[in-house]
Amino acid sequence: MLTQQTYIMLKPDALKRQLLGEIITRIEKKGYQIVQAKLMQLDAPIIAEHYAHLTDQPFYPKLERYMLSGPVFGMVLEGEDVIRGMRNMMGPTNVFEAAPGTIRGDYATDVTYNLIHGSDTPETAEAEIKRFFG
């Protein structure tokens, strides 16, 4: 048993496309618990902190515009091996590699506008939960 927590963020396109309920239903049906959740409008500094590993990438301005384009829905999920489990449910960043049945594979058609973020390691999960929930 490896009960852990992860930070999941439904990005602005998920809210604009009214996919919040659909994605949350999948998470609940899988068996993960939502232990914290809130709607947030991010600003440029917190986006730069969250995507610090990408700020020098040519696509960063597009990523920043996307993340500023509307509210996001942040959640802390708890469950057994939930970090890996959610990354599997999300599918890879590149939507063209995301298999049907994954969230990105079923609903996203673009590498940037890919609906959802999930922590990739226990260390980033801890930092991200602290960043967005204090």
11 is in an annotated binding site: yes
> Would you call 50 a catalytic residue per the annotation?
no
AA letter at 133: F
Residue 96 engages ligand RTP in binding (rule: CB under 6 A): no
Residue 74 engages ligand RTP in binding (rule: CB under 6 A): no
- Per-residue x/- marks for ligand RTP, 31-70, CB under 6 A? -----------------------x----x---x-------
Indicate the helix (H) or strand (E) that contains 118.
Answer: strand 116-118
> Which sequence positions are flagged as catalytic?
117
What residues are designated binding site for ATP?
11, 59, 87, 93, 104, 114
